[in-house]
Amino acid sequence: MNVLKCLLLLFFLAGNLWARPNVLFIGVDDLRDWVGHLSGHPNAKTPNIDRLAKRGVSFTRAYCSAPLCNPSRISLLTGVAPSKSGVYGNGEKLRQKLPDAVTLMQHFRASGYSVRGAGKIFHGTSAYDMDSWDIFFKSPGSKKHRVKRDSSLPKSAWVPWGALACSDDEMLDGINAKWIITELKKPQEKPFFLAYGLTKPHLTWSVPQKYFDLHPLEGIKLPPTKKGDLDDLPAFGEKLAREVYDPSGERDFAVKPNGDHVNVIANNQWLKGIQAYLATISFADAQIGRVLDALDRSGHAGNTIVVLWGDHGWHLGEKEHWRKHALWDVSTRTPLVFSAPHGVAKGKLCQRPVSLIDIYPTLLDLCGLPELKGLDGQSLKLLLENPDRQWERPVVITYGLNNHAIQTERWRYIRYRDGGEELYDHERDPNEWTNLASISKYSLQKSKLSKWLPVKKLVN
């Protein structure tokens, strides 16, 4: 009788394990809100990300924890905010800063999932944190494809973009997509957590010619800008727009006279830069489409949660700034989409501000896995069920020691380590052109928002 009970218990546990949904986890590097369904740019063409959004809930105001690859990803994958971990720059190592952290993938492994991945999920050497993976595909890499530089440009011109004469499968993201597709074709002995990390649209914006052809130069639109936009910024904010800040604390600003924007304008490259970024997004979207098609063919789509996220935003001339490396809306906002067979609304946009650090607890909630103490995020399950419900919790964004932004539905408040402040009313000023921080009638609003600032640390 005892043997029979044991067999019944094992049968029950196995059945319960298989009742848990699979997870397809897609990370996209440097992807801002320039995707079709978010209307971030009129020239954006992302049919595959858009069709995923139709299957679930897309957050219109999802924000990173830090506008830089390593701190954003480590906070997302450990659930520990940068202000607590001390991971501010791209040089810090996961296990040096957080030796005992249980990553999202570790938690799924411990819960009986087969956890596999390829591409850029962590940043740098942390990618091979083998406690996090059953299998991690070490791509042989793609061969270097030369971009023909415009011979009319001076050597000083900043032009890290251009079309390539190669196929998708010769690109790193294409190689990794093929591996993910192969994994989806295999028989699955356990529920799976399958992570696909794309390196594009990170620089360089060099992808096959056909993606540039999708975005003819004559139709490209410039983003909205305002002359003199930097005039009302505190000194630290103005430096972020024009120079390169090292958030790790090893050095302060690297002098870059006048910044990338002046260089781009002087060399008549603004439209070409935007074209190249849009083309690279379309390339990334095509690889995502290949993986989604493979999921649909695999027979597992009916029991698979898909979550797609970017690690932060990207400026292309707004605030006279290029790249990320800042605490404004453009550099910190990114797509976030959840699709699931059950418990997630279909084809809905959620306007509530949420953080990428919320992904960890949300996936545990959706998959019915044990809660983990110490996570700084909050499950978004209630918003996924009802995207219009009230949500009072603001987003906290950190860039380096004691530089933070607080984002609510209406307001963005920035305070730098030297005391400089910015305050924007997104209801009236979505482009953040008018800094209200020095106007006395907004003192109470600043006081309310400042209560959400992390406790100040004296050392890095």
Q: Which position among 37, 64, 69, 300 bears the catalytic label?
A: 69
Q: Quick one: pLDDT band at residue 85, thresholds 50, 70, 90?
A: very high
Query: Does 123 qualify as catalytic in the annotation?
Result: yes
Q: Quick one: pLDDT band at residue 130, thresholds 50, 70, 90?
A: confident
Amino acid 441 reads: K
Determine the pLDDT at residue 202.
97
d(CA 44, CA 22): 30
Contact at 8 Å (CB) between 164 and 208? Answer: yes
> Within a 10 A sphere around the Cβ of 19, how many other Cβ atoms?
10
What are the CA-CA distances from residue 223 to residues 174, 270, 319, 322, 330 (Å)?
Answer: 29, 10, 10, 12, 11
Determine the pLDDT at residue 259.
83
Determine the pLDDT at residue 264.
96
Q: Quick one: pLDDT band at residue 150, thresholds 50, 70, 90?
A: confident
- CATH code of residue 104: 3.40.720.10
Q: Quick one: pLDDT band at residue 142, thresholds 50, 70, 90?
A: confident
Range 350-359 average pLDDT: 98
Determine the pLDDT at residue 7.
44
In a domain, 327, yes or no: yes
In a domain, 345, yes or no: yes
In a domain, 408, yes or no: no
CA 77 to chain centre: 12
Predicted confidence (pLDDT) at residue 14 exceeds the cutoff of 50: no
CB neighbour class for 238 (10 Å; exposed up to 12, middle 13-18, buried from 19): middle
Q: Which position among 123, 215, 321, 325 bears the catalytic label?
A: 123
pLDDT in tens, 33-80: 999 999 999 999 999 999 999 999 999 999 999 999 999 999 999 999
Determine the pLDDT at residue 291.
98
What residue numbers bound the domain in which 134 lies? 21-225+272-394
Predicted confidence (pLDDT) at residue 123 exceeds the cutoff of 80: yes
Range 5-17 average pLDDT: 44
Tally of structural domains, the chain: 1
Range 123-127 average pLDDT: 74
H or E stretch covering 59: strand 56-63
pLDDT in tens, 198-240: 999 999 999 999 999 999 999 999 999 999 999 999 999 999 9
pLDDT in tens, 387-404: 999 999 999 999 999 999
Contact at 8 Å (CB) between 324 and 314? Answer: yes
Predicted confidence (pLDDT) at residue 255 exceeds the cutoff of 70: no
Contact at 8 Å (CB) between 326 and 67? Answer: yes
What are the CA-CA distances from residue 38 to residues 46, 54, 60, 72, 416 (Å)?
Answer: 10, 12, 7, 22, 30
Lowest mean pLDDT among 51-55, 93-97, 304-308: 93-97
Determine the pLDDT at residue 15.
46
In a domain, 200, yes or no: yes
In a domain, 378, yes or no: yes
CB neighbour class for 458 (10 Å; exposed up to 12, middle 13-18, buried from 19): exposed
d(CA 284, CA 119): 12
In a domain, 203, yes or no: yes
In a domain, 237, yes or no: no
Contact at 8 Å (CB) between 135 and 129? Answer: no
Determine the pLDDT at residue 156.
92
Quick one: tokens of 121? 């999920």
Q: Quick one: pLDDT band at residue 10, thresholds 50, 70, 90?
A: very low
Burial 124-148 (b: 16+ CB within 10 A, else e): eebbebeebbbebbeeeebeeeebe
More confident residue, 147 or 416: 416
Determine the pLDDT at residue 177.
98
Query: Does 69 qualify as catalytic in the annotation?
Result: yes
d(CA 355, CA 389): 16
d(CA 311, CA 335): 9
Q: Which of 70, 193, 84 is nearest to 122 (CA)?
A: 70
In a domain, 427, yes or no: no
pLDDT in tens, 403-421: 999 999 999 999 999 999 9
d(CA 255, CA 264): 17
Quick one: tokens of 132? 């996090």
Q: Which of 207, 387, 289 is nearest to 36 (CA)?
A: 289
> Within a 10 A sphere around the Cβ of 427, how many other Cβ atoms?
9
Contact at 8 Å (CB) between 237 and 320? Answer: no
Mean pLDDT taken over the chain: 93
Predicted confidence (pLDDT) at residue 422 exceeds the cutoff of 70: yes
Range 25-32 average pLDDT: 98
Determine the pLDDT at residue 6.
47
d(CA 140, CA 124): 16
